[in-house]
Every structure is written in C-alpha cells, then in structure tokens.
Amino acid sequence: MSSGQLVIIFIDLVVIMAAARALGWLACRLGQPAVIGEIGAGVLAGPTVLGHSLSGLIFPHEARPYLSLLAQVGVATFMFLAGMELDRSVFSSRRRLISAMSIAAYIGPFVLGCGVAALSLSRHQTADRVPYIVFVACALAVTAFPVLARVLQDRHLMHTEVGKLSLASAAIVDIFAWSVLAAALMSAGSSTGRAWRWVVLIPMAGVMWWLVRPVLVWLGSRATGQTMVVIAVAGTLLFGAATEWIGLHMIFGAFAFGLVFPRERRLIVEPGARVVSAILLPGFFVVAGLSVDLRALDTTAIGELAVIVIAAILGKVGSVYLVGRIMGLESRSALAVASLLNTRGLTELVILDIGLTTGLINGALYSMLVVMALVTTAMTAPLLMWSGMASGDPPRIATGLQNRHRDAENVACLAEEASVGGK
C-alpha cells in the first residue's frame, strides 16, 4: 500500500463515518432504525446519485478492497456482540415455536422467490438457470441477522420474548439460507473444491460448545479484563475465519463465539467491541452501495422490482404471522416477530455481493434486490408500531382460558372505575 492510498483510505473512513452518523441520526428522527440511514449512505455514495466519475473519485477502486477488509472486521465484531447478548435458554424453552417460525420464515419467501426468478429468466439470461433461481429465492428468504440485532438494540427489545424469539429464528433462517446458497454455488461451479469442508462444521460446533466454552469460563475467572478483550477479538476473528473457510460466511463463526463467551465478562468486553463495530461497520454499507446503479432501470424493471418487493413481504410476513397464530401467539406478537424477521439489510447485501462477484446476477438485478432490502427493512419500525410491540412488551400465548380471564379482569376494572367515579 502506497502513502497516497493510505491517505485516501483514511479520508474515506472519515467521510463514511460522518455520512453514516448524519444519515443514521436522520433515520432515527424519522422513526427508522439508524441502520436504514447507514445503508442509504452507501446507496448515495454510489453512481445512482454521484455518478460513476464522482463516486470513483471519492472512493477509488484501488482503495475499496482495503475499505471492505476493515468493514468485515466491523461486521464480525458486531456479530460477536449479537451472539454474546442472545439468551441461550430460548432455544430450549421455545424449541417448537422457534422451529416452526424459522421454517415458515424461510420456506414462504423461498417458494415465491423461485417463482419470481423463473419469470425473470427472460430478462436475465444466464447459463446457470437452476443456481440462478435458487440464488434469487435465497435472497428473498434471508433475514438480516446483524440488522435485526441492531433494530432490537435500538428498540430496547433485545431481552424481551419477542426479541429472543425473532433473534433465535433469524439465526436458524440464515443457516438455512447459507446452506442452500452454498449448494447453489457448488452446482454453479463456484465452490466445488470446498464441498468436503462442510463435514468439519458439526465437529467444530461440538468443539466450541464442549471444549471452547468451558475453557473460556475457566479463563474468565482468572484472566484480567484486558486479556479477555484480546481473547474476544482473537476468537471472533479465528472462528470467523473457520466458517469462512468452510463456505459458511464468517458472520456465523463470529456469532457462535459470542454465543459461548462468558456472560459475566460482558461488561468488560462489550464497550470496546461496540466502538470497533460502530466505526468500521458503516464501511460495508458504502462498499456495497457503490455497486448500486438505479439510473438504468426502465419501466419493465420497475414493475419487476415491485413484484420482487411484494413477494418478499408476503412470503416472509404472511407465513410467519400465520404460523405464529397457529402456534398460539397473540396477533400483535405474531405480527411483531414477522416484522422483525422481514429485515434483510446487512446479510442481504453480503449475499448479493456474492451473487454479483460470481456472475449469478447482473448489476440491474443486484440494484433491485438492494432496494428490496431497504424497503423491507424500513417496514420494520412502522409494523412494530402497528403491532404495539415497539416498547418491548412481551408476547403472550393466546388461549381461550387466558382470553376469558383477561376479559373478566377488564370487566372488574371497569366496574371498580365506575364505583370510584360514583363516589
């Protein structure tokens, strides 16, 4: 790296942080999660608004790989925090509900995505027809686990039942998505040489739970705070590298390490990790947004975009809401979880970047799917407000007995108020 490149990268980092902070603040003022503004900053930095010349001048092509590398560290750190904050007990206490909602959250949009992709083949000619269809279906089915965690933090829902259910379901949905995506890439010839590495995944999960977790607990009771910070960063990068090597994205290794990290050391490790993530994570949105160009979309493409957005919303929100109601969740709780699982921001951008770089999708479809990710993520806050869950109210299982008990309580309260009013 030359001195001139270093100067450009430093300046670009300052521009990215300032733009992300400003637009994130604006998004919050509009009732949206800050991540919407940060993704919007990436789109604004691309050729759609600035044009190729000005965008390339501010963010030169030779500097983008370095910005992307720093951004990946920010993503990994954020995923470690998300794993550390997830209550592990939710997987065992609500296993049936989480399993049912995860399957619905993936299958619904995946099936509709297959239909959308099949209809769009005439506009997006490709030699890998089946991998293309599967890829587009995966893009509609995915839930942005990091963005969901960010929304839960911003809305103070992380430690509520709604937050726990949605976060656990999103983790399973994304494992589905990455597994199917890996199969699609292998069938397209993109990762054939790495297929055997998937056999390492189950043993690695066992090692993390039965070996790494006890060792971390032992170290947590003896090591200093600074040592635990170093262990947290090193473990995040190491296990992120391991899942990346397997073919499952590095965010899962980082998340898994956060999941087994000792909770009692959280107050020591968390502040530094949040600073790293806040500084570096916006760089990913900008790097992804540099490939978005909406100027070339014609009338037909706009209609295709509308179909993609509708299929994504109906497939995700509709299926999760329906299954949630069948499993006994109240209407507003089911709608809240469905709204949260409808977020697609960061993970969507990661998947789309893979599709673009491997040639499975072209620039026009990439741009449309990025817009879909923005729209579905932006819907989360209004739907949460509509469901009445924005303040972190816990979900309840709706049974006839509970409904009758609640009605009786309401009648008693009204009678008491009337009595007080009469006095």
Scan for tokens 């037909």, then name that residue: 300
Convert the pLDDT of each residue in 257-271 to its tens digit: 988 998 877 778 888
226-248 pLDDT, tens digit per residue, is 888 889 989 999 999 998 888 77
- Please state the separation of Cα 230 from the chain's center in Å: 26
Instruction: Please tell me the predicted confidence (pLDDT) of residue 406.
Output: 43
pLDDT at 92: 64
Q: State yes or no: pLDDT of 131 exceeds 90.
A: no
At residue 45, the pLDDT reads: 84
Displacement of CA 251 from its chain's centroid (Å): 10
Does 190 have pLDDT greater than 70?
A: no
Percentage of residues in the chain having pLDDT higher than 90? 16
Residue 231 and residue 183: Cα distance in Å, rounded? 33
Give which of 284, 210, 293, 214 is closest to 249, Cα–Cα.
284
Name the nearest CA neighbour of 71 among 356, 287, 348, 374.
287
Q: What is the mean pLDDT of residues 96-121?
A: 90
Report H helices in 30-88.
Answer: 34-45, 47-58, 64-85
In this prediction, residue 403 carries a pLDDT of 43
Q: What is the pLDDT of residue 51?
A: 81
Confidence of residue 390 (pLDDT cuts 50, 70, 90): low
Query: In this predicted structure, what is the pLDDT of residue 37?
Result: 85
Rounded average pLDDT over 301-322: 92
User: What is residue 317's predicted lDDT score, i.e. its pLDDT?
Assistant: 93
pLDDT of 410 reads 45
Highest mean pLDDT, choosing among 16-20, 35-39, 84-88, 198-202: 16-20
Residue 210's pLDDT is 92
Model pLDDT for residues 307-316, shown as the tens digit of each residue: 999 999 999 9
Q: Which residues pair with 329 in a beta bridge?
A: 397
| 235 CB-near residues (< 8 Å, 6+ apart) | 212, 216, 257, 261
Q: Distance from CA of residue 89 to its chain's centroid?
A: 21
In this predicted structure, the answer to whether residue 320 has a pLDDT above a threshold of 90 is: yes
- Tokens of residue 8, six digits: 């450009």
pTM over 0.85: no
* Among 402, 276, 261, 396, residue whose Cα is nearest residue 336: 396
Six token digits for residue 124: 């997006």
Looking at every residue in the chain, the average pLDDT score rounds to: 80
Helices (H), strands (E): how many in the chain?
22, 0
pLDDT at 130 over 70: yes
